[in-house]
Structure 1
Amino acid sequence: MGRSPCCEKLRSKKGRWTAEEDQILTNYIQLNGEGSWRSLPMHAGLLRCGKSCRLRWVNYLRADLKRGNFTAEEEETIVKLHSTLGNR
């Protein structure tokens, strides 16, 4: 007895995400918002598990996700906080 599996192993796709899958996930979340990740793949028509969809959205597809290098101001803040707090 334990938790039910996060996805149906026979139905789930593994490996790299395609651009089409990214677009389906992005469109679904824009229309319906973030919510029940476990039921999202079934409603969106993706052959991925909910955890995979959540991680793809959070780590790669979110519009507010910042990419690239730190600004000079951010670097200065990091150095200042490190000198104050040290390695904790």
Structure 2
Amino acid sequence: MGRAPCCEKMGLKKGSWSQEEDQILISYIQQHGHPNWRALPKRAGLLRCGKSCRLRWTNYLRPDIKRGNFTKEEEETIIHLHEMLGNRYPKIH
């Protein structure tokens, strides 16, 4: 049987996000949080699916995202954990 589709695909935007859409998403999450990604687009007034909103927030818009190169300490920690755990990356977080 499986899970129901996350959204009705008809009428949804695909592709690049506009600055206006980003602002709508940021404002909505700042005011209401993000407890239900499937319901968020409709409540926020976005023509996107919940997965698209979740990925946009998680990968690009979160205020705590650190961009740029690793610091020397971070690099050493990654190397040390890789030596201990190998390629089991889910345990490295």
TM-score class, shorter: 0.7 to 0.9
Identical residues among aligned pairs (%): 72
Q: Which runs of 5+ in 1 are unaligned?
A: none
Under a length normalisation based on structure 2, what TM-score does the superposition of the two structures give? Answer: 0.84
2:14 aligns with 14
Judged with a 3 Å threshold, the aligned counterparts in structure 2 of structure 1 residues 52 and 86 are, in CA distance, closer, same or farther, namely closer
Under a length normalisation based on structure 1, what TM-score does the superposition of the two structures give? Answer: 0.88
The higher-RCO structure (CA 8 Å, 6+ apart) is: 1
Per the alignment, in what secondary structure is the counterpart of residue 12 of structure 1?
A: coil
Q: Distance in 2 between matches of 1:21 and 1:59?
A: 15
2:23 aligns with 23
Aligned length in residues? 88
Q: Which runs of 5+ in 2 are unaligned?
A: 89-93
Q: Distance in 2 between matches of 1:51 and 1:72?
A: 34
Once the two structures are TM-superposed, the CA of residue 84 in structure 1 deviates from its matched residue by 3.8
